A and B are shown apart, each in its own frame.
Chain A
Amino acid sequence: MPDTVGEVSKGLADHEYLADEGLATSIFLALRLQRPLLLEGEAGVGKTEVAKVLARWTGGELVRLQCYEGIDASQAVYEWDYSRQLLHLRAVEASHEQVDEDELYSERFLVKRPLLRALAHDGAVPPVLLIDEIDRADDEFEAFLLEILSDWTISVPELGVVRAEVPPVVVLTSNRTRDVHDALKRRCLYHWIAHPDFERELAIVRLRAPEVPELLARDVAAAAEALRGLELYKPPGVAETIDWAAALATLGRARLDEAAVDATLGTILKYREDQERARAHGLAQLVRAAVARGA
């Protein structure tokens, strides 16, 4: 359990995640107050990464629940292994014994899905529960989730109540395709992850893609920042910047140049209209400005 925000920043940086002070504070509070953390932001800014790094840092297991529309308790919490149950019934019947319902609904046939796994965890270190893209799930699931996040208990009717002695560290991510319900937001601490500034993005690229030469990394970070100012349909996120830098390094470039940008534009801009807009703006001009900025 960290004592200061600084400890959190250092711990995350040791595991290759550079968090700004705001994010580090939110994570610190989430750990100390034992509240879930809701991370919102555009695609590619590193929301899911936070949970992965937290798991690496704290040493807890990462339990991931990927949400989608229509997800319900049977996919999220638990399900009975029906096929095995039916086979068991047949086997019992073949040996002419009586069918015992308790035996049928026992731990042996219980398939534990992420939420139950996170709560029933009995290791020393609490697991990190990542609930990814909660905005894709529907309202019914959110209401159900809220109940679990408030009480940290799940009741399986046939088996009993499962309670977590130490609540897991919960990280929820959302792309904001719709507003997450107020009740759920109230339960969580909230942080909006924005695109990083030039210095931080440069530091991230250097950390995540160390094979990229220093000057190329500077150019790429400057170019990405410039592209974000171009009013694109989908401004590039940090993940795309890292990919782009790695791609250029693979092609053997030491600095950014127009031909290379033209060839690798699809790595950083994923919409045809965005690529057209960047070309209309002028790739040569983009490169010149980036090199000037990065120097």
Chain B
Amino acid sequence: MLATDLHIAARNLARHTRRNLLLASAIAGVTALLVLLGGLTTGMREAMLQSATTLMTGHVNLAGFFKITSGTAAPIVAGWEKPWDEVKGTIPELAWAAPRGRGWAKAVAEGGSMDLVLAGVELAREPGFQGVVQVVEGSLQDLATPGTILLFQDQAKRLGVKPGDSLTLSAPTTRGASNTADVRVAAVARNIGLLSAFNAFIPAETLRQLYQLKAGTTGAVQIYLKDPADSAVVAARLRDALRAAGWRVMDPDPQPYWQKLMFKVNSEDWTGQKLDVTTWEDEMSFLSWIVTAVTWLGNVLVTVLLVIVAVGIVNTLAIAIRERTREIGTLRAIGMQRAQVLRLTLLEAFLLGLGGATGGALLGALAAAGLNAAAIELPETMQYFLLQRDLHLALHPGQVATYVAFVAALTTLAAVWPSAYAARMRPVTAMHHAG
């Protein structure tokens, strides 16, 4: 029965080639735009996630604070391997993990000075680092040598340095004594938006020397998961496991570590080590407004687009049905029931929507691939906030299939009213219709 109806619906569509092609093209165009817009917002969010989780945070962080006195806190985990060894078995979702030193220093060079957030890296432990940080001058491998630094383009420009030049890092140690480290610029990397404005990388050993920290001390164990969506669940499990192992663990607080250090931990009356488990969303909460804004902007655009499409479909189908009034009257006269007429016209709309949306999705995917291949550089202000240099559209088959299904369903839904109108027509009236 359905197969027969589908066959008839397809033949009907084929008979009105010109009109249906026009309608299908409109649906295809809208679907293509939907796919491109979805790819854009997903691409932005993925790029932000990737950049942020490489430059500043893991998907989950086993971090903490050490207070020598109640008024002197440092964002460090002393002897990080011990707590990590005790709990890493509880994370089957683990992809890889690496210790990352955390610090802050004033960088002073001949050309200028600026404050930098320092990350102490062990390159050999960080497989994702090279994928995100694109070196434009110098060598990333040199960053494995103690006494070096990796800067981003704007930082190098502001300090007036290039690979091979020296600069001085000045910072107080964890006990508050002034200290300095002379470092050589190993590499200059391409800007990655806001985060690269203040983040710089030095070897973990150099960071420990600057802060007078013992070997085995780090800022955080950055934990990377197979699926970042598991972050919150894993973080909660880690907290429980650490508490069960006897560690003092801070309560969950969705703030980046530096905000806790500045406004919270220093005012608390405790000394010694406390561990703090955070997710990448906690650490990036000061940037979450960008993700929220991009998502909202995308949603608003898609909604406006869909409303326009729905109105267009209703209008076009209404015209199409009006043109076929006599045909519908004949069908009703030879015995076709109202429900059958309704089903037939809805099937036509569904087939039209499915075909148009599939074609549009393919078109959108091709356009996205072309744009990605063209590597279009974003305007500087957009790079700053979107944490990516080149326009990147991320398309996932599931997401595209959802768009196709959604547009097909919307087309079918939009056809309900004109189809119901067609089904309600009396055969005699319809056959006498002059249109």
Asked if chains A and B come from one complex, the reply is: no
Q: Which residue numbers of A lie inside 8 Å of B, CB to CB? A: none
